[in-house]
Structure 1
């Protein structure tokens, strides 16, 4: 149905869509986790914040699993390098995801304020750590990871966790934290009432402005202080998947090549800035639905901005640039990509329809009075 080059492009776009879906949906879960100790004064108000995501956070987290599955099936070398080389970072993310349901479940097992406060801060950690690590990961993608292959395609990773926590990557981590706090605040402004919603709006407006400043700083650093990667040899987009058959050079400003070649890609940073600024304004003025729509425009803008900058690179190698993984040489076979695309076409609309139905059924805000009465709330 599609040729090999087109299938590779489709799966690159699908991987980006899964990351965007995760960043928007589980993004507000992580944002609420980071915000709830600050927007809630007392146990009832914190329970309001928690219960805004109580019925949906497990389903939202599935988008992360789908993304990992897509990498495993569509880009096997990328899966091998990233999930092995970034093992400790992935472990921290996994521990954060494990800590979230544990904190939500155990905080209500005792009435002791100290007990609940302790679990509340662990819930905060469960949101902050993955949010930071996700941004750090993108920062390291832009700089390249220290890996290479031998002639039998065995991968060797030469870095460690401390190497990932470099200044530029930490700046990207702060971008991620600010972005998800903004998204969580916009969600709370829609799904809560009273003091919780008011505090969330103030926090969200501040986070949105901070996001604009951090994006600007990271973008400037990328232009002048980060060496981008550029393919310097002929590449066959429909050729065999072998990352050892090309030549790659590094040069400051190379990550801007795609924006010069394809001006329409400017839409990504434009959406990131416009969504954040409009979200800040809407949050400050009390426009709840507009704020959520605006921040949900900014989040994919930030994510796709990195993807557009790197294309066709998926994971550059800082030690052996010519062995970097790209869309053209790190994919599964044409038959595998075709079969998986058929599965996606059949099942993804079902997932989207079911998800939309769930959010429709669970529409409406969570009130402090209802939480105090215990009206069928989980936590």
Structure 2
């Protein structure tokens, strides 16, 4: 089973408009929704989750929809079946509009519910919707980062950690000598982690290679446990299932996040899973290397296919200085330009720090002809790949005021205008 299309309108904050132009997503095998808090990541996850848990439906339609923009969502599958939910004001004049919601629920061409549901009373809705469900055969699964940790180890869980054993800080590779060569006598079970009969885990560590440490699972780093929780959970799903993950990167450092994404893709291919997950992590942005993965930028009112990494990083609040790079690069021709501009900057804001708030790069004369703002050219060096916040300062080199700029300078100006990057051409 695979979702091929999601249409939505006036669902929470997403796609609230006057012209009923619907929001639309055509999901891939793995679908990553990145954005700041409150931008709509969980809304997309909840639309899908509501197909297996109808209690979520009352929370989805916008509380005060525009009269010309009725809330609804429609999820279509690869077999042509679809699930449709729309809402309106209360259908029963005796029900309070602020407490009840008119709702139509359709399973393809069949209406399985049409009437009022409570906006806030879960127990009442359980009675109203008792026995009503979509035909999904329990194929949608949901896991949030706040799920309880596994306390007793199992073979699948430990196997997932052993697969990345060399990436787990401090563990000892029992198959190799200290110089990296393979040992003559490799243990029959050479795994870093082995479950004992009393549910402890034998763990070989770099500082204690002679014998293992027997540790309970609860003593393991939270990041290791989170990784194994997610990957072993996906391995437990049936072939063809749809899996929803909320912020799986919680507790994981960036390298482990990338390992997790690689493993999610491997499992999704092996078990033919379709995966949807929300994240705040910039480490996931580089995931668009794979044809199996689509990234979406949630922006509060809309969900867009990922395209503008600068805008996404700004929304997430990342700064280049977070990774010890300057937040802005000023491109100048030579050292004297740096002296002038630093002097002028100090006159505007004496708190700006060179090397943190800004740095200078020199392109020196004809070298500018090798730079561009388009990162699709294999012949040019992309200025924005060096730093997405760049300002370019160029001498016009005109002999007369009305002379044309040379081809290189005009190309750079056109690129800056196209990429919304600041550029300053001196008068001459």
Q: TM-score range by the shorter chain?
A: under 0.3
Greater helix share, structure number: 1
Greater strand share, structure number: 2
- Using CA pairs under 8 Å that are at least 6 residues apart, name the structure with larger relative contact order, 1 or 2: 1
Structure 2 length-normalised TM: 0.22
Structure 1 length-normalised TM: 0.24
